[in-house]
Amino acid sequence: MRRVAASFALIAAVARASSAVAVEVAGVRVDEHAKLGNQDLVLNGAGLRKKMIFDVYVGSLYLPKKATTADEVLAQSPRRIRLDVMRNLSADQLIGALDEGLKDNTSAEEFAALAVPRGELAAIMKSFGQAKAGSVVTLDFVDGATEIRLDGDARGRVDGAAFNAALTRIWIGGHPVQADLRKAMLGGA
């Protein structure tokens, strides 16, 4: 009987330890921690982006410390938004979705002022050709700029804290791309 109890205790300890390493969202493994340069980041939250009936990506937000509001998130640097792509997305689809999200979360004046960085982001996304199912897009805010990677490969950089704040608000702003994804990325708040 003691062996059985000890076995169950060991299994429970292993399960707890492995759940601290990763969570799963829609079948996608999301790490609890990320390293950005020499900075350790923690998973703030992750959720599924759906469009109509299609699973599009799992979005996750990493920060130096947990946050429950957009203001708390935007006050932290560095930060990472990670998109685990679940269906093939063309560069034009990515650009259109990001531009729409920027427009929804900025005033007309702010949106117009972001014309140059929006163009830079579009050029970087065009270099992807396509983000295939299983690809990972990361948008890292470091040293006042957004660094864009596809499957770990650096694809470009867009300068400006104002641009990154606007980009981040696509997911956690007042008019997010999806309300339940916003809630999940803000840790369920």
Which residue shows structure tokens 């309300």?
A: 179
**Is this model's pTM higher than 0.75 or not?**
yes
**pLDDT of res. 71:** 97
- Both tokens assigned to 101: 């999200």
User: For the domain that residue 15 is a member of, what is the CATH number?
Assistant: 3.50.70.10
> Cα separation of 184 and 188, whole Å?
5
> Cα separation of 123 and 182, whole Å?
27
Q: Range of 64's domain?
A: 2-185
What is the mean pLDDT, run by run of 10 residues, along the chain of 189 residues?
A: 44 42 90 94 98 95 97 97 97 95 96 97 95 97 97 97 97 97 91
How many other C-beta atoms are found inside a 10 Å radius of the C-beta of residue 90?
14
Report the number of distinct structural domains present in the chain: 1
**pLDDT of res. 189:** 54
